[in-house]
Structure 1
Amino acid sequence: MSNHSPATRATYLPTQLLQQVFREFPNSRIEGSQCSDIRAVSLVCRAWDPAASARIWTHVVLREDRALGTFIKCVRASRAKRAVIVRILEFRFNHWDARAHSDFAILAPLLRGLRQFVGGDRLVSEDLKLVGPRVSTIALFLSSCPDLVALDVPAPGAWMEKLQVDEGEDLMLASKYEFELDPPSSPLVVCIWLLLLLTPGLFPISLPRSFIATV
């Protein structure tokens, strides 16, 4: 008779320990990374998938506008509703076309757990005009993400374009009141304008016609 004890099922490593190990793999925050290693790890077995998925989905960086469409396809194909895992979402592209706005409108309601959103790459040449999403797109985002605590976006694109049309009016006002009317260039200013737009009765302030036209 053999003295060997019967084979027992191997004990799984805790998810927290797996996450510590998987942190050594590159992710989307690294330039040129396609997360190939961590994606392969997520397919090893079901026990590894939660830890690997958290590594992939917690902090997502999209470096091209076409990557937004691919990301949405991945979200829709996931039975586990991976979008709710996303805590930080960064768009490192600086051109918001009609398709990007449409894709973002689909994605925003799925990001219920998002806490930080970056809507453009500020590390660009000064010769390039940094244009952010429309005010309506930002409003949709704010209403869809209840846990959002940090929003970093350039000035809305329509606002920047309308400034050229209203340039004569701005110059006239500047000459009359002896000050300059500059477009909002910081996320804080954009948020203030958005607050005034969404709650017109909160402050008795008249918004510039060029800003109201962006809605």
Structure 2
Amino acid sequence: MTVATAAALPPELLVQVFEHTRPDAHRSLDWVPAQCTGIAAYALVCRAWAPVAQRALFRIAVPRTDSRSFLNTLQSLVAEGRDLARVVDKLVLSLGDVWDTETIATTVALCPNLRHLSIFAQSRGGSYDDLISFTAREVDVLASVQTVTHLSARIFAPGIGIVPQLLCVWPNLTYLDLRGHPPLSPSNQRFIHFVPPRLRELRLHSTYPLPIYDEATPVETLVIDGLHIPLSDFLPVLGRITKLHILVPFDMMQLDSLQHLSRMDSLQELIISADELTAPMLDAFPHHLPHLGFRLRLVLQRPDDLARLIRERRLRALRAVTIYSVEKLDGYEENKVDIVRAACVKVNVTLRMLRYEDLWDVPLVYS
């Protein structure tokens, strides 16, 4: 029998193995800085491992300096003929204190295989007489990279209008994550006029005004902050949503979402992030729902109610329950989860534990 050596493993598999040796490997690289010491050592093992370790190190680039210094370093590497920029899947950049849009555009252009741009801008105070946007030349530079399918924008300054530009520059976006404030537009409150036609996953933890959706919008996964964004904003597409993660405000009277859950005929997974579980919430869960997800905190507060919901088969199609917990459970937490586990066993429902805070933390797959 021939035994395969590590060097013979496919590079894609080796990348996954390398990344899972990090101390925080259960956390998403999208949110947690990688502990790269061990991965860097793999590059010295053999010639075959060097490019694979390089990809594991640099496929998600989170500059530890300002964006301009990072750009200078990247330009130097490219000038030396090193192809590190080619392995970058995700780029995390900040507009900085001076809101330098040119640096953002130039850095993106150096990464020809970029899949995900995550951009951050903090408020700097003062007035916002002029909207900060990419220039026409910078837009052309950004448009030269058409591999981008994921966009995250955390914009906490009302004077920045780059998000609508990026949506138009990259019409092939399938994933959109918006947080913070929309740009000020006194003459037109609905500032974003264009939603990418191939959008599959939309995450809104903000008050961004979006166009009215029609039935042709292909969004299938929706993550929203129920305090600021009611499900009623998505009535035309609710019937096609298959995964919904909703952050439920403490005061349920502010939320109109419960009455709309019954319209979601295609819903396969509902994830609830809430501080408490109320009777109206339990009653509103669609009976055809096969998969429920909860934060551990919610399970610890209402284990008996959850167990009763499962045991009494109020959700006739329920096949799986997922509990999201970022840390390993202690004895007290295990006892609470055991109440839910016993109910699942009784009615043959699978109970899964995932070591993530919630869906925001689950690693993205750039397919």
TM-score by length of 2: 0.33
Distance in 2 between residues matched to 1:38 and 1:133, nearest whole Å: 39
Distance in 1 between residues matched to 2:75 and 2:41, nearest whole Å: 19
Alignment of 1:55-66 (within 5 A): 55-62=56-63, 64-65=65-66
User: How far apart are 1:82 and its partner, in Å?
Assistant: 1.9
Q: Which residue in the other structure is 2:86 paired with?
A: 84
Q: What amino acid sits opposite 1:12 in the alignment?
A: A
Percentage of pairs with the same residue:
23
Q: CA RMSD in A?
A: 4.4
CA contact (8 A) 2:115 2:150 kept: yes
Deviation string, structure 1 residues 111-154 (Cα, Å, up to 9, x no partner): 12112111017xx8xx876x997323862453121111222333
Give 3-state SS (helix, strand or coil) of 1:21's partner. Answer: helix
Give 3-state SS (helix, strand or coil) of 1:90's partner. Answer: strand
CA contact (8 A) 2:43 2:50 kept: yes
Change (3 A) 1:34 1:145: same
User: How far apart are 1:50 and its partner, in Å?
Assistant: 1.8
Change (3 A) 1:20 1:120: same
CA contact (8 A) 2:95 2:104 kept: no
Aligned residues: 158
TM-score by length of 1: 0.52
Give 3-state SS (helix, strand or coil) of 1:46's partner. Answer: coil
Distance in 2 between residues matched to 1:152 and 1:187, nearest whole Å: 16
Q: Higher relative CO (CA 8 A, sep ≥ 6), structure 1 or 2?
A: 1
Change (3 A) 1:151 1:29: closer
Structure (1/2) with the larger strand percentage: 2
Q: What amino acid sits opposite 1:18 in the alignment?
A: L
Q: Which residue in the other structure is 1:24 paired with?
A: 20
Deviation string, structure 1 residues 37-88 (Cα, Å, up to 9, x no partner): 2122223332111211121122222354256246525643663412122122
Q: Mark the runs of 5 or more structure 1 residues left unpaired by the alignment.
A: 1-9, 161-166, 174-179, 190-215
Give 3-state SS (helix, strand or coil) of 1:148's partner. Answer: coil
Q: What amino acid sits opposite 1:38 in the alignment?
A: I
From 7, 32, 38, the counterpart of 1:12: 7
Change (3 A) 1:11 1:150: closer
Distance in 1 between residues matched to 2:13 and 2:119, nearest whole Å: 33
Q: Mark the runs of 5 or more structure 2 residues left unpaired by the alignment.
A: 163-183, 193-206, 212-367
Alignment of 1:1-215 (within 5 A): 12-14=7-9, 15-26=11-22, 31=32, 33=34, 35-62=36-63, 64-65=65-66, 68-69=70-71, 71-72=73-74, 75-76=77-78, 79-91=81-93, 93=94, 95-97=96-98, 100-120=100-120, 134-136=133-135, 139-140=139-140, 142-153=142-153, 154=155, 157=159, 170=186, 181=189, 186=208
CA contact (8 A) 1:152 1:187 kept: no
Structure (1/2) with the larger helix percentage: 1
Distance in 2 between residues matched to 1:141 and 1:25, nearest whole Å: 37
Q: Which residue in the other structure is 2:288 paired with?
A: none
Deviation string, structure 1 residues 26-47 (Cα, Å, up to 9, x no partner): 3875656562221222233321
Distance in 1 between residues matched to 2:106 and 2:82, nearest whole Å: 18
CA contact (8 A) 2:97 2:124 kept: no
CA contact (8 A) 1:135 1:156 kept: no
Q: Which residue in the other structure is 2:359 paired with?
A: none
User: How far apart are 1:182 and its partner, in Å?
Assistant: 8.1
